[in-house]
Structure 1
């Protein structure tokens, strides 16, 4: 006997998971938001999850990432493209996105946002203001000395590197790379 529910599930395809990573102040949030608007896509930000958890009295270590992973899977299974905005400072954090994409049967695109000009990076960190209620932004000293393991493609997988010196150029570069093959 024909089961309509199974047939519908057969034609549902998961979306793309686009994970935009980088140190604080490099422009990853600006790029992630613009990318989500242009595609369009669901936008998920680890900082928002972590800030909400802290406001709820939760001591946050990896809980914000766990929340975003589950929200990503839920949206990917609906066929949506998902743009994740997360620092992903350690190999373990980066590896989690491969697992999330596999669970949702989604194509994964990893992006590392870089800002080669240290003076510009410092200026951005020192001049920015929190856009999430209760979010405490890191200082320049915390950005420079905070946890960050440089990307190693053998260990962390391939990623697209995007120079965020010019936000419009960075967005155009990323959108070009995301075009269907």
Structure 2
């Protein structure tokens, strides 16, 4: 059964580093919300917030790859419950198993340093600054509302990858209904 692996967390906590490492290790499809949103902004010719559009595109892409039997790693902030809930539906509707990780960086000074040193890595990309990260409307994870999620400390990227791989290895394969 293909896995839909959602890697969430505040900007600067190591989401992209962890997601990229998982993609390489698992030979999975990589869906980065930053890339989807940047492409939409470039196509529109502006830097206005994209909102739900980026997530809708990512859900469609994730579903098509899951139906091909491909593991999919999604790199997305998912700051509010509305941005988290659809992933379970996408996995179930396309024969996949959803596994969610939330990155955390306990050292606030290190988190700030990472945000402030971040450079765009795509043409047209706007990266958030520390003030924006601090003002982000972030809803704490609630397993009853948002589903089970494993928190991964990203202080060390190697330790974060090892923890995520260990969690993935501990998950039993589940049978699923065929995709609709």
What's the secondary structure of 1:56's corresponding residue?
A: helix
Structure 1, gaps ≥5 residues long: 1-13
Q: 1:17-40 deviations in whole A, cap 9, x for unaligned?
A: 000000000000000000000011
Q: Give the equivalent residue in structure 1 for 2:111.
A: 121
User: 9, 14, 17: which one pairs with 1:22?
Assistant: 9
Say what the alpha-carbon RMSD is for the aligned residues.
1.1
Per mean C-alpha deviation after superposition, the further-off stretch among 116-125 and 58-67 is 58-67
User: 164, 175, 180: which one pairs with 2:165?
Assistant: 175
Runs (4+) off by over 3 Å: none
Bigger radius of gyration among the two: 1
- How far off is 1:103 after superposition? 1.2
Q: Give the equivalent residue in structure 1 for 2:80.
A: 90
Q: 1:157-180 deviations in whole A, cap 9, x for unaligned?
A: 110110000000000110111115
C-alpha distance in 2 between matches for 1:18 and 1:172 = 15
Q: Give the equivalent residue in structure 2 for 1:146.
A: 136
Q: How does 1:24-173 map to 2 (within 5 A)?
A: 24-57=11-44, 60-173=50-163
- After TM superposition, the score normalised by the length of structure 2 is 0.90
Between Structure 1 and Structure 2, how many residues are aligned? 168
C-alpha distance in 2 between matches for 1:119 and 1:152 = 26
C-alpha distance in 2 between matches for 1:170 and 1:113 = 9
Q: Give the equivalent residue in structure 1 for 2:176.
A: none
